[in-house]
DNA sequence: CGCCGCGTACATCCTTCGATCGACGCCGGG
DNA sequence: CCCGGCGTCGATCGAAGGATGTACGCGGCG
């Protein structure tokens, strides 16, 4: 299983860098560079044709850039992409990751780390350059709780009350909620009151905020 | 500068593993293991006493676990923590990162990678085990687009009105807004009315939603 | 069966909200 | 200088919201 070589396409518009990358990867056992490309379109074409395990993708390239090429390859499920760039810019990182890149490295990477990164991506894992990892981590303060955002009494709500809360999160008035749920406005008010009491809130505005942070509304 | 050795505290309750880690790190040039600990409290105590560059922290430990120990060390700004665990569980990863860990590795890591990781963390960078990187990345789909949410008439608001909108986004009542901005409730109502008119909304609840989606409130 | 908890429903009462007036002082530009 | 935009304050009034109390149907349980 592990003896099948990792097939890689290298895409970079600068011939010198491209050659260097090819040499580094080619020298690694178990890694085979099957094609090179000098622009985004070429990278996509070669990847579609050869179905490599990994595309090592530069960002700044003529025509469509590495980000767009990554988006296409990942979007179509062609292969994994390891983005490699000279510039440690947040925008690049965000765009690359949003495009679905499996990894993001800087060109300051040493050869052994590059080789390890390619192997990781081929294995289905991900890679982040240490220089950017901390910044990425810092911007993910709520990975464990975006959906179940802490709303203390949320679990005490009945299904109906949760429904009410969802409506509140959409900014509906009592009359609108009543119409949607086919109940009287008086009943709606009762539910709203219960929701507020159970959640310890003082107004429907706060309930709306809670509802949205809990993911109960758009 | 770079010749000052990286000082490390190793915390793991299993003596065999701890010894292995110490040997690996001790054999690396430029890395010095200054203390060992067998539980979370010990790790915190040693770190506070010795002020190392990095604490290599196991999660499952007697007394307070590695997560809590990490929280304390990072919270107090004592040092960076590299979390190391046997189990590739999302909960562990989330908790560790939420606690402020600079890195997260699995004990399947090879010696050279462990050494590189310690150096990265000491340099102020971050490290994620490749096995977990992809999962972490997958849960970060909107780093580039949460701030600039489209709110049509937002640019027509005056500075004061934007301030009002921010308060609305926090769920404050007119009286509370008045108190915070040191104006009369009557004035507050005037502003709120203007905001609603300019934004084409029908209630403060919708304004609160708009405010939050525009990033004007927490 | 009777009791109780729960969800649902309605009515009553008071507060808050929101719209719509009018008014004043301040500033900056025509 | 006068005008207009902005921020402030006030008053009124109808609509909406929120608290509180009551009531009914349903299910489980002793």
For every residue of chain A, which 3-state class applies, written as one string?
A: CCCCCEEEEEECCCHHHHHHHHHHHHCCCCEEEEEEECCHHHHHHHHHHHCCCEEEEECCCCCCCHHHHHHHHHHCCCCEEEEEECCCCHHHHHHHHHCCCCEEEECCCCHHHHHHHHHHHHCCCCEECHHHHHHHHHCCCCCCCCCCCCCHHHHHCCHHHHHHHHHHHCCCCHHHHHHHHCCCHHHHHHHHHHHHHHHCCCCHHHHHHHHHHCCCCC
Listed as ranges, residues in chain A with pLDDT below 50 are: 143-148
Query: Tokens for A170?
Result: 């959409």
Is the C-beta atom of A197 closer than 7 angstroms to strand D? Answer: yes
- Determine how many CB atoms are found less than 10 A away from the CB of residue B83: 29
Interatomic CA–C1' length for residue B190 and nucleotide C26, angstroms: 18
Distance D20 C1' – B218 CA (angstroms)? 33
| B146 band by pLDDT with thresholds 50, 70 and 90 | very low
Measuring from the CA of residue A185 to each C1', which nucleotide is nearest? C10
CA distance A218 to A161: 17
| Residue from B69, B15, B14 nearest B41 by CA | B69
Q: What is the pLDDT of residue A8?
A: 96
Place of tokens 């009592």: A174
**Delimiting residues of CATH 1.10.10.10 domain(s) in chain A:** 148-213
* Residues of chain B contacting A136 with CB distance shorter than 8 Å: 126, 136-137, 140
The C-alpha atoms of residue B147 and residue B154 are separated, in whole angstroms, by 13
Nearest CA-CA partner of B109 in B134, B135, B81, B85: B85
What is the structure's pLDDT at B145?
Answer: 44
Chain B: give the shortest CA distance to residue A115, in Å.
12
Is the C-beta of residue A191 closer than 7 Å to nucleic acid chain C?
A: yes
Check whether B142 has a pLDDT greater than 60: no
Q: What pLDDT is recorded for position A2?
A: 53
- Chain B residues whose beta carbon lies within 8 Å of the beta carbon of residue A204: 205
Query: Residue B115 above 90 pLDDT?
Result: yes
Element at B84 (helix H, strand E):
strand B80-85
Note the pLDDT of residue A145: 41
Contact state of B206 with A171 under an 8 Å Cβ cutoff:
yes
On whether the CB atoms of residues B24 and B51 are closer than 8 A, the answer is no
As a residue count, chain B comes to: 218
Give chain A positions within 8 Å (CB) of B192: none
User: What is the band of B137 on the pLDDT scale with cuts at 50, 70, 90?
Assistant: confident
pTM score, two decimals? 0.62
User: How far is the C-alpha of A12 from the C-alpha of A38, rounded, in Å?
Assistant: 5
- Across the interface, whether the CB atoms of B120 and A130 are under 8 A apart is answered yes
Residues A154 and A199 sit within 8 Å (Cβ to Cβ): yes
- Of all residues in chain B, the one with the smallest CA distance to A140 is B140
Return the structure tokens found at A77.
């499920």
B104 sits in which H/E element: strand B103-106
Q: Look at residue B193 in the predicted model and tell me its pLDDT.
A: 92
Question: Which pair of structure tokens corresponds to residue A35?
Answer: 């094609």
Answer whether any strand D atom is within 7 A of the Cβ of B198: no
What local confidence, expressed as pLDDT, does residue A137 receive? 79
Please judge whether A126 and B136 are an interchain contact, meaning their C-beta atoms are less than 8 angstroms apart: yes
What pLDDT, on a 0 to 100 scale, did the predictor assign at position B135? 83
- A-chain CB neighbours of B211 within 8 Å are none
Q: B204–A206: do the CB atoms touch at under 8 Å?
A: no
Does the beta-carbon distance from A133 to B103 stay under 8 Å?
yes
Asked if A193 CB < 7 A from strand D, the reply is: yes
| A149/B145 Cα distance (integer angstroms) | 20
pLDDT, residue B140, reads 65
Q: Please state which architecture CATH assigns to domain A6-137.
A: 3-Layer(aba) Sandwich (3.40)
Q: Are A136 and B140 an interchain contact pair (Cβ–Cβ within 8 Å)?
A: yes
A187 CA – C5 C1', rounded, Å: 19
Calculate ∠ Cα A12-A14-A16, nearest 5°. 110
Per-residue model confidence (pLDDT) at position B143: 46
* Closest-approach nucleotide to residue A173, Cα vs C1': D16
Does B205 score more than 80 pLDDT? yes
B87-104 pLDDT, tens per residue? Answer: 888 888 888 888 889 999
CB-based contact B45:B71 (threshold 8 Å): no
- Band of pLDDT at residue B147, cut at 50, 70 and 90: very low
The pLDDT of residue A150: 58
Is residue B74 predicted with pLDDT exceeding 70? yes
**Cβ–Cβ below 8 Å for B206 and A168:** no
Q: State the burial class of residue B63 (Cβ atoms within 10 Å of its Cβ: 0-12, 13-18, 19+).
A: middle
Using the CA of B189, which nucleotide's C1' is the nearest one? C18
Q: How far is the CA of A209 from the C1' of C26 (A)?
A: 37
Q: Confirm or reject CATH 1.10.10.10 for domain A148-213, answering yes or no.
A: yes
Candidates B186, B187, B198, B200; CA nearest to B162 is B198
**Cα(A154)–Cα(A160) distance, rounded to whole angstroms?**
12
Nucleotides of D under 7 A from a protein CB: 6-11, 16-22
> In chain A, where does the domain assigned CATH 3.40.50.2300 lie?
6-137
CA distance B151 to B153: 6
């Amino acid at each position: 299983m592990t003896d099948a070589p990792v097939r890689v396409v290298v895409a970079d518009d600068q011939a010198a860098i491209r050659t260097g990358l090819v040499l580094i990867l080619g020298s690694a056992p178990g890694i085979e560079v099957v094609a090179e490309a000098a622009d985004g379109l070429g990278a996509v074409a070669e990847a579609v044709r050869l179905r490599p395990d990994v595309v090592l993708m530069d960002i700044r390239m003529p025509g469509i850039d590495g980000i767009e090429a990554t988006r296409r390859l990942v979007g179509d499920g062609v292969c994994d992409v390891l983005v490699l760039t000279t510039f440690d810019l947040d925008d690049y990182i965000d765009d690359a990751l949003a495009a679905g890149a499996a990894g993001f490295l800087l060109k300051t990477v040493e050869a052994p780390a590059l080789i390890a990164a390619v192997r990781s991506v081929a294995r289905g894992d991900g890679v982040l350059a240490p220089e950017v990892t901390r910044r990425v981590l810092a911007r993910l303060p709520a990975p464990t709780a975006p959906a179940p955002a802490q709303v203390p009494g949320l679990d005490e709500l009945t299904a109906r009350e949760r429904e009410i809360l969802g409506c509140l999160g959409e900014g509906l008035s009592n009359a609108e909620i009543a119409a949607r749920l086919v109940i009287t406005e008086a009943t709606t008010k009762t539910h709203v009151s219960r929701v507020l009491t159970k959640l310890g809130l003082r107004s429907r505005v706060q309930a709306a905020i809670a509802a949205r942070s809990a993911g109960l509304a758009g």
